Chain A
Amino acid sequence: MQKISSSRIVVTVVGKDKVGIIAEVANVLAQNNANILDISQTILQEFFTMIMIVDISQCVVDFNTLKEKLEQTGEKIGVKIMAQHEDVFQFMHRI
């Protein structure tokens, strides 16, 4: 499988705010050696919304596995976690 040009992914978490969301997500990323570059969070229409920019160039598992792990974590703590390659956002909004 060919690599995508960028090794950065965007992790988005949307759901009801509660204790420990960031900790859980950060934990999954740390366990797999994915480096968090930036975090921002807001409360959007009562929903907790967190966006992380993550570098996966040193990640010990491939993207799909990491994505699945994040999604499972999301299910466990009752929030929706999405992981997408950064290219999508760059391409869509920037010329």
Chain B
Amino acid sequence: MPISLASEEILETIRMVQMENLDIRTITMGISLRDCACSDIEKTCQKIYDKITKYAENLVAVGNEIEKEYGIPIINKRISVTPIGIVAESCKCNDYVQIARVLDKAAREVGVNFLGGFSSLVHKGMTEGDRKLITSIPQSLAETERVCASVNVGTTKAGINMDAVKIMGNVIKETAELTKEQDGLGCAKLVVFCNVPEDNPFMAGAFHGVGEPEAVINVGVSGPGVVLNAIKKNPKVDFGQLATIIKKMAFKITRMGELVGREAANRLGIPFGIVDLSLAPTPAIGDSVADILEAMGLERCGTHGTTAALALLNDAVKKGGAMASSYVGGLSGAFIPVSEDAGMIRAVEAGALDINKLEAMTCVCSVGLDMIAVPGDTSAATISAIIADEAAIGMINKKTTAVRIIPVPGKTVGEMVHFGGLLGKAPIMPVNRYSSQKFIERGGRIPAPIQALTN
């Protein structure tokens, strides 16, 4: 077999990993817990624990093995499960906190840092199980370390369940209050979605959808640093060339994800699902989506032109990635989590970026208002209204949107909150001071838009 690798290609890969923070952000194993349903909650818990620890027994070891052999860092190994609102529905009990505890225990046992799926899909209405799950969220997130919760409150096909939106405002407030010792950290593990994907590998919004197989391996790549450097090297090219440069980089990043995903699936004996083409930033310097937007020629992320820059970036990433992988899914777009992106934090501190601009940016990228810290005295109705706005953007534009917002107890605008690790730190951002109370109190469902009538 001829040696076909050029040394420039080898050095490019080495540079991407060593100097530009290219990594596989997560290998996430989806596990169906549908067969764990039982009227006895103790039995359900035992089944859940046994199943997760059996399927994911080797997940972390295999991830570490691949990391070594390929020389590509794999930052997180995670698990997503069937929405617990479905699994626990037949249990005779008043709340599901006990199930959250068992999920946490199973996650700890197999060594994953997060497990997603303490979730319900209530875009059209709630069952009794959904209601119990949602009311169990604050206590569950306060008591557990690794469990992540999500609730889908709207879809393009169903409209927006405003009753659920209203409840989620209260749930977020309560979660913040119960975790106030850690500055409302519980809210960092809770996402409210519209048009939630069922195969997303990224936390905190991952769960194993009902249309998914028994178990599956999904992969989330990263790589803002790689795209950033490629753009920096070409400061004066026009937008067409800029898009091409981003596409090429996205292709390479995604290939890496596809390779790792397939290899992990192969070694674990579980089918490979999808690669999620998201550019996920980290607090590390240079690993920032905001930096990319600024490298395109904006003085600060958040200024006029930011939405256009993000639209170009997001689209080019998808185009490059779609060619690199046969199965693309999940959220697939640029993430803009404020606390996890050093450039976003800098932009907020400089007064260039506010919640309104972030909302506009979510129209053209995945996912939504992500990891945003707001004053602790923000009302539940205001949080609900923020969720409703995001859900409306998602519903009308047939895309996923989400809200992960932290009303930090006892803190106000100008202060900083530190979550640590990948969750980073966030400046408290002001919200609109006028009330949305009466609007939220109406209740009911915002009807599905005309875009829903596609048949």
Bind each other: yes
Q: Which DSSP category, helix, strand, loop or mixed, fits chain B's interface?
A: helix
Q: Does B453 contact A (CB under 8 A)?
A: no
Q: Would you list which residues of chain B between 12 and 27 have a CB under 8 Å from chain A? A: 12-14
* With contact pairs A67-B68, A88-B72 given, residues A2 and B10 touching in the complex (Cβ less than 8 Å): no
* With contact pairs A4-B69, A88-B70 given, residues A82 and B14 touching in the complex (Cβ less than 8 Å): yes
- Residues from chain A with a CB closer than 8 A to the CB of B6 are 93
- Residues from chain A with a CB closer than 8 A to the CB of B69 are 4, 63-64, 84-85
Q: Does B71 contact A (CB under 8 A)?
A: yes
* With contact pairs A2-B266, A63-B69, A88-B71 given, residues A14 and B14 touching in the complex (Cβ less than 8 Å): yes
* With contact pairs A12-B10, A85-B70 given, residues A93 and B3 touching in the complex (Cβ less than 8 Å): no
- Residues from chain A with a CB closer than 8 A to the CB of B255 are 91-93
Contact B3 A89, beta carbon cutoff 8 Å:
no
Nearest CB of chain B from residue A93's CB, rounded to whole Å = 4
Q: How far is the CA of A79 from the CA of B80 in the complex (A)?
A: 41
Contact A94 B256, beta carbon cutoff 8 Å:
no
- Residues from chain B with a CB closer than 8 A to the CB of A10 are 5, 10
Contact A89 B71, beta carbon cutoff 8 Å:
no
- Residues from chain B with a CB closer than 8 A to the CB of A83 are 71
- Closest chain A residue, CB of each to CB of B262: A91
Encode B60-75 as 1/0 by CB contact (under 8 A) with A: 0000010011111000
Encode B84-116 as 1/0 by CB contact (under 8 A) with A: 000000000000000000000000000000000
Q: How far is the CA of A37 from the CA of B4 in the complex (A)?
A: 12
Q: How far is the CA of A4 from the CA of B13 in the complex (A)?
A: 19
How many B residues, CB 8 Å from partner?
A: 25
Q: How far is the CA of A50 from the CA of B204 in the complex (A)?
A: 42
- Find A12's partner among B4, B14, B252, B256 (CB 8 Å cutoff): B14
Q: Does B11 contact A (CB under 8 A)?
A: yes
Q: How far is the CA of A53 from the CA of B9 in the complex (A)?
A: 13
Interface residues of A (CB under 8 A from B): 1-2, 4, 10, 12, 14, 37-38, 40, 42, 44, 49, 51, 53, 63-64, 67, 82-94
Ordered nearest first, which 7 A-B pairs have the shortest CB separation?
A84-B71, A91-B259, A93-B9, A88-B70, A92-B255, A38-B3, A51-B7
User: With A89-B9, A91-B256, A92-B256 given, can you name 16 additional A-B contacts, CB distance below 8 Å?
Assistant: A2-B266, A40-B7, A44-B11, A49-B11, A53-B3, A53-B5, A63-B69, A84-B69, A84-B70, A87-B259, A88-B70, A88-B259, A90-B5, A92-B9, A92-B252, A93-B255
